Amino acid sequence: MTSSLYIINPAADFPTYFGAEILVASGRPSGVMMADLSSTTVAAMAPRDFAIEIGDEGVAPVNFDHEADWICVTGKVSQRRRMIAIADEFRRRGKKVIIGGPYASLSPDHLAAHCDVLVSGEIEEIAEEFFADLRRGRPRDRYIGDKPSLATSPIPRWDLYPNHRAMLGAVQTSRGCPFECEFCDVIQYLGRKQRHKPIANVIAELDALWAHGFRATFLADDNFTAYRAHCKELLEAMAHWRRNGHEMDFVTQISIDATRDAELMDMLVEAGVHQVFIGIETPNLDSLRETGKKQNLKIDIPSEVQKLIDRGISVMGGMIVGFDHDGPNVFSQQYEFAMSTPIPIFSLGALMASEATPLFDRITAEGRLLQGTVETQAVPWGSNIRPVTMSMDELNSGLHNLCNALYSPAAFGERMLNFIHSFGRAHDLSDAKLPEFESFREVERQAMDIAGEVRRLGDAEGRMWNKVWGAALRKPATAKIVGRIMFQYAQARHMFDRGNYWEPQLAYAPPRREMAEAAAE
């Protein structure tokens, strides 16, 4: 008896800093920033005689008339509302629904009533039993996976995915993170002992992505450089792969302590890593100690970030406000810190106590967990924590002002110009040429068009755009990454517009010192 599966990756409940909802908002076909690993990996573990279709709602609407035997829904907490809505609608139509993924692993009790089968944890070790039960038509109500060897994780089924509408492919080379940040939910189900996929398997996955047309890929590790010896072995293999006719660019997540290793940074460049996300969180040292972010202490973050940019690696920064040691002056501190760095894009948000984290347990025990606020986890400026050193109104208004200050055309443009000026100065970039627009995939060309349209958002945006692109054209090595960052800026502005968060009277204020004062008011 064979079975058929319709595996769905729902749309996010709200646009994110790293999404691509601006594509549709600008009148273009829908698309996603990163191809989905969950649906394609699960599909790869299903028996080959199963009929499988993958639907990514970021690319195309869900087909509620699908005739599959089983509807499979995955998703993160940022997709919670849509996960439930999709599952409930299919069940209303008489379909059997399976829910799994990160949110099902962290908060299974929130989803159990919305599905027939709930899968928590990682699926590799339970896949054989799970799919055998589906074939017999007698699955259990609940499956719980453990932490498998990543040698058992197959090459994702990219042949089933709408690759043409994803800007980045995706490869996960490891799971888990050795650090203990109090607010982090990743280690709660993936563990603190980082497990690595065999390097040969990673290269095989890169081959598959290359064959499907991807020329840029997200290395979907929570901390790519956590174990430096292994990371260097992998980077050496990736560099060899690139030298053999695969000029692919990579984006990943690292911790700031990686900058203490000059050889590692040079190897990142050789392997094609051109952009990294770093959880900077806050310049408030007491807040870093509070949350257990030890790797960010005893280090001058702006100068460490500069080491990466000097080598030609751009940095996106994570920024959080609302720690217990954050007073009303934290917003001006964050603004001044951000403007001291050549980091154009910050994912700025309020501290959130996600379920199953030590922070959630502590805030609950202290009676400071705000009830009925799980939905706020989809919105960057929402929080479910009652602050200690300021009122909730002060937190909300301060964050609102800070977002507008950091993403004002003047402030964003200043950081972009600083970035362009110092980008790659450790290397000779004199032979660099402007990229050929025709060499981009269709979805990338559309993203570059949107980057160009930033200048039409207003007079201030037009002036900023002219300065930034003028600087990029004078330094051709920066043109491609500047285009990608400008697209991210357009996405952030769309997100602010959707949330009624953009306030022109704040955003178009004078730059630098005046903005810091406005953010603190």
> What is the DSSP code string of 220-289?
--SSTTSSHHHHHHHHHHHHHHHHTT---EEEEEE-GGGGG-HHHHHHHHHTTEEEEEEEEE-S-HHHHH
> Do residues 322 and 383 touch, judged by C-beta distance below 8 A?
yes
Contacts of 258 (CB under 8 A, 6+ apart): 225, 228, 264, 265
pLDDT at 2: 73
Q: What is the pLDDT of residue 371?
A: 79
Question: What's the CA gap between 103 and 74, in Å, rounded?
Answer: 8
CA distance 254 to 256: 7
Any residues with CB less than 8 A from the CB of 211 and at least 6 apart, and which?
Answer: none
Q: Is 99 helix (H, G, I), strand (E, B) or coil?
A: strand
In tens, the pLDDT along 11-21 reads 999 999 999 99
**Helix 330-339, helix 409-422: angle, nearest 10:** 40
Which residues, in sequence order, are CB contacts of 51 under 8 Å at separation 6+? 2, 3, 4, 5, 68
Say how many Å lie between the first and final Cα of the chain, rounded. Answer: 66
The whole-angstrom separation of Cα 202 and Cα 234 is: 8
Dihedral Cα 179, 181, 186, 191, nearest 10 deg: 40
β-pairing, 195-196 vs 174-175, is: antiparallel
| Chain centre to alpha carbon of residue 76 | 11
Residue 442: per-residue pLDDT:
96
**Degrees (nearest 5) of the Cα angle 220, 287, 293?**
35
Left (φ > 0), alpha (ψ -120 to 50) or beta: where does 298 sit?
Answer: left
| pLDDT value, residue 279 | 94
Give 494: exposed, middle or buried? Use CB within 10 Å, 0-12, 13-18, 19+.
Answer: buried
Kindly give the residue spans of alpha helices, DSSP state H, lying in 407-441. 409-422
Nearest to 264 by CA among 298, 295, 307, 301: 307
Query: Residue 366 has what DSSP assignment?
Result: T
**SS3 of the chain: helix, strand, coil, percent, to 5:** 50, 15, 40
> 3-state class of 300 per DSSP?
coil
pLDDT of residue 372: 62
Quote the CA–CA distance of 73 and 69 in Å, as a whole number: 13
**Residue 519, pLDDT score:** 40
- Tens-digit pLDDT profile for residues 340-350: 999 999 999 99
H helix or E strand, kind and range, residue 89:
helix 80-92
Q: Please state the pTM of the whole predicted model.
A: 0.94
Buried b vs exposed e over 198-213: b needs ≥16 C-beta within 10 Å?
A: ebebbbebbebbbeee
Cα separation, 505 vs 136, in Å, equals 63
DSSP code of 457? Answer: S
**Which domains, ranges and CATH numbers included, belong to the chain?**
4-150 (3.40.50.280), 165-408 (3.20.20.70), 418-520 (no CATH)
The pLDDT of residue 48 is 95
Q: Which residues contact 128 (CB under 8 A, 6 or more apart)?
A: none
Q: Which helix (H) or strand (E) holds 509?
A: none
Residue 225 and residue 276 in contact, taking contact as beta carbons nearer than 8 Å: no
Cβ neighbours of residue 379 under 8 Å, at least 6 residues apart? 14, 499
- Order of strands across the sheet with 117-120? 51-56, 4-9, 70-73, 96-99, 117-120, 142-144
pLDDT tens-digit readout, 450-479: 999 999 999 999 999 999 999 999 999 999
**One pLDDT digit (tens) per residue for the chain, 521 residues:** 679 999 999 999 999 999 999 999 999 999 999 999 999 999 999 999 999 999 999 999 999 999 999 999 999 999 999 999 999 999 999 999 999 999 999 999 999 999 999 999 999 999 999 999 999 999 999 999 999 999 999 999 999 999 999 999 999 999 988 888 888 887 777 877 899 999 999 999 999 999 999 999 999 999 999 999 999 999 999 999 999 999 999 999 999 999 999 999 999 999 999 999 999 999 999 999 999 998 999 899 999 999 999 999 999 999 999 999 999 999 999 999 999 999 999 999 999 998 889 999 999 999 999 976 555 555 778 899 999 999 999 999 999 999 999 999 999 999 999 999 999 988 877 788 888 878 899 999 999 999 999 999 999 999 999 999 999 999 999 999 999 999 999 999 999 999 999 987 776 655 444 444 444 44
Q: Which residues of 338-374 are buried (b: 16+ CB within 10 A; e: fewer)?
A: bbebbbbbbbbbbbbbbbebbbbeebeeeeebeeeeb
Residue 320 main-chain phi, psi, to 5 deg: -130, 140
Residues paired with 442 in a beta bridge: none
Contact between 22 and 494 under an 8 Å Cβ cutoff? The reply is: yes
Hey, which bits of 131-255 come out as E strands?
142-144, 166-171, 174-175, 195-196, 216-219, 249-254
